[in-house]
Amino acid sequence: MPLVPGDVSIGENGIPASPGYGDIYHSADGGLQQTRHVFLQGCDLPGGWQKKESFVILETGFGLGLNFLATWQAFREQPGQCKRLYFISIEKHPLTCATLDSCHAAWPELATLAQQLREQWPTLVAGYHRLSFDSGRVQLTLIFEDAETALKQLDASIDAIYLDGFSPSKNPDIWSASIYLQLKRLAGPGARLGTWCVAGVLRQGLQENGFIVERKQGFGHKKERLEAVFSSTSRATPKTRPSNKSAAIIGAGIAGTTLAQALIQRGWQVTLIERHSDTAQGASGNPAGIVRPQLALDDSLNGRLSRQAFLHTVKQISIDTSPISRPSSHNSHAFEGVLQLSRDEDNAEHMQAMLEAHRYPAAFAHWLTQEEAGDLAGVPLAAAGLHFPNGGWLSGPRVCSALLAKCGTLLTRNFTHNATEIEQTPNGWRVWERDQMLVESAVVILTNAHDAARLVNLPLTPVRGQITMLPDGTLPGLNIPVTREGYVLPTQHGIGNIGASFAFDDDPTPRAADQQANVARLSRLLQLPPVLGVSSLEARVSFRAATPDRLPLVGPIMDDAARFQPESLLSDIQRKTGVYALTGLGARGLVWAPFLAEALAARLDDEPWHLPRDLWQAIDPARFSLRERRRKT
């Protein structure tokens, strides 16, 4: 389903008055105070988070964000013992940033917080979006999706629920039996719930699913409100975080370095093991690569993962490498646009059909004619295509170096050592290089591309890729990356290259045939490609790690002794305790790695995080073993 932005009309008193957003939060008679009373008081806040290390709130219906802003304000005023507040909010029709700006003016007491919210407001694209405030102490996850679909895919233990106040007559879909069942699944022991709505169908649905419901006196124009407490205490949330927060990461490419930084931000002690003397010596070591999403007309798992990873990576890399000056020959990235040209007329029609089907905002992706694309790129191009305004390029070596420079004393670099074995101990794992123990830690994470298959059983295939490097000034005028069947990067700041070949062999030596094929790619990208002397151009060969379904491997590794049936769920399959993978990124490592590293780090630290259940299952390392078992039967 395409994402359709919401709309709000403003009343004469300056208060938002649209039926879809105004009634449940706002009114002329003290709307903000009513919000604080109904949701904070109904969920026993801030008392509820006083004695917890972290606290998770689920909201159905973000609207203008006043519930979040009021909760954030209260968290600042009375934080207690709580270190982190996680606020997860679902919104089917999110508002534009401009609309939020107009509406927020009605509550000047929230102006500072509201401005921070708008500064991070995401592109209106379906999926999960994480916003971080107060140095990470407040985490907002926005899910742009209908409530029923979003709740089914959510995986978290919820401490408090802010329930959409729409009456059943105005929005019957929000009160389906499936909604109540998902609230029961997600509610943690003693979870509290608050809502404006007191309809009988709501009370009955909550009671039938384990909530003790009580009608309370309302506020302002609302005569009544509802409070509820989840009565079941049987739900045990599995904890993944070890008491000793130490990790050994094997492989210092883009996956290993982004994961190291993500864990260190959460207070982990990390040892980074690398067989080379420096970071990014494998597939991450090309001068630069393309950062853009891989869209799909049917919104497949691959397309959804690519889109979500792209949005996160562009934002996260910009934050994490912010001290690097620009413009400079030492730029780590530039997210100033990328073009994906159509291959032929059929492909052009397909691209435009994707834009129409998903109604992507122009800020995310839009169509350009051949002339428009050439004007944007600075040189005549061979075809029309898609423009991703926030795409661009990223230099793996420079990003890896910048990330590790910010890791501080919690990082130990153990380079020029090749991990040859991992050994389980009563306290965790040891990593060995033949007869020398490199480190002992609570967990081990394999980020060493296809070499991970030497240490554990994973279906990884090395894919040879050769790029042709172009000296600065080789392609004058080209100012943004262009892709089609291959890519070309601007020849400035030392990032210029054409790529890349695709072969299944293990030859590390550059080949003249691949050089010629790369140079020939220019004729499929540029309308007037220059004549280049192949013999004078340098080349670089590296090996990507590919999986059979072209999706990465992220999560806990299956135990070699695991026994399971064809009808088993992935979650039922026994794992090696404390061994994880982040590999199999193929040709999309620069887009996927920062996003998946953050997701895995959050999982290891037992955080609720913005990755739906079906996407977790799609990248689970045990999925191929389960598929094979089912195929055989």
Place of tokens 């049917």: 298
In whole angstroms, what is the distance from residue 288 CA to residue 395 CA?
4
- Quick one: pLDDT band at residue 24, thresholds 50, 70, 90? very low
- Quick one: pLDDT band at residue 169, thresholds 50, 70, 90? low
Whether the predicted pLDDT of 1 surpasses 90: no
Question: In this structure, which topology does domain 22-230 adopt according to CATH?
Answer: Rossmann fold (3.40.50)
For residue 535, give the amino acid letter: S
Query: Encoding tokens for residue 408?
Result: 């501080």
The per-residue pLDDT for 19 is 46
DSSP state of 313: H
Query: Encoding tokens for residue 178?
Result: 């499936």
Selected residue with higher pLDDT from 506 and 31: 506
How far is CA 224 from its chain centroid? 39
The per-residue pLDDT for 23 is 42
Q: How many residues does the chain have?
A: 633
For residue 20, give the amino acid letter: G
In whole angstroms, what is the distance from residue 288 CA to residue 591 CA?
12
Place of tokens 């040209």: 341
Q: For residue 378, what are the β-bridge partners?
A: none
The per-residue pLDDT for 2 is 78
Asked if 126 and 66 touch (Cβ cutoff 8 Å), the reply is no
Whether the predicted pLDDT of 20 surpasses 90: no
Q: What does the DSSP assignment read for 484-536?
A: ESEEE--SSTT--EEE---BSS---S--HHHHHHHHHHHHHHBSSPPP--GGG
Q: What does the DSSP assignment read for 527-543?
A: SSPPP--GGGSEEEEEE
Chain segment 569-591, per-residue pLDDT in tens: 999 999 999 999 999 999 999 99
The per-residue pLDDT for 172 is 63
CA atoms within 13 A on the CB side of 557: 24
In whole angstroms, what is the distance from residue 306 CA to residue 410 CA?
31
The per-residue pLDDT for 514 is 96
Query: Encoding tokens for residue 194?
Result: 């608050």
- Quick one: pLDDT band at residue 16, thresholds 50, 70, 90? low
CATH class of 338-385+461-544: alpha beta
**What is the helix (H) or strand (E) element at residue 212, kind and residue range?**
strand 211-217
Least Cα distance to 554 among 609, 607, 595 occurs for 595
Of the chain, the percentage scoring pLDDT greater than 90 comes to 79
In whole angstroms, what is the distance from residue 59 CA to residue 194 CA?
10
How far is CA 356 from its chain centroid? 24
Least Cα distance to 447 among 584, 301, 613, 271 occurs for 584
Asked if 162 and 152 touch (Cβ cutoff 8 Å), the reply is no
Query: Encoding tokens for residue 174?
Result: 């929000």
* Cα radius of gyration (the chain): 26
Task: Round to the nearest angstrom and report the end-to-end CA distance of the chain.
Answer: 35
Predicted TM-score (pTM) of this structure = 0.94
Chain segment 73-106, per-residue pLDDT in tens: 999 998 778 999 999 999 999 999 999 999 999 8
Asked if 339 and 365 touch (Cβ cutoff 8 Å), the reply is no
Query: Encoding tokens for residue 388?
Result: 């991703």
The per-residue pLDDT for 324 is 43
For residue 321, give the amino acid letter: T
- The domains of the chain are located at 22-230, 246-282+398-460+548-632, 338-385+461-544
In whole angstroms, what is the distance from residue 29 CA to residue 123 CA?
33
| 409 contacts: CB under 8 Å, gap ≥ 6 | none
Helix (H, G, I), strand (E, B) or coil at 262: helix
Peptide bond connecting 453 to the previous residue in cis, omega within 30 degrees of 0:
no
The per-residue pLDDT for 311 is 95
Q: Between the CA atoms of 74, 78, 82 and 83, what dihedral angle is there, to the nearest 10 degrees?
A: 80
Chain segment 109-119, per-residue pLDDT in tens: 999 999 999 99
Least Cα distance to 179 among 163, 193, 159, 191 occurs for 163
Least Cα distance to 311 among 67, 149, 144 occurs for 144
Q: For residue 497, what are the β-bridge partners?
A: 469
Q: Which long-range contacts (CB under 8 A, 24 or more apart) does 629-632 make?
A: 629/564, 629/565, 629/566, 629/568, 630/566, 632/566
Asked if 444 and 248 touch (Cβ cutoff 8 Å), the reply is yes
The per-residue pLDDT for 516 is 95
CATH class of 246-282+398-460+548-632: alpha beta
The per-residue pLDDT for 633 is 81
In whole angstroms, what is the distance from residue 534 CA to residue 468 CA?
9
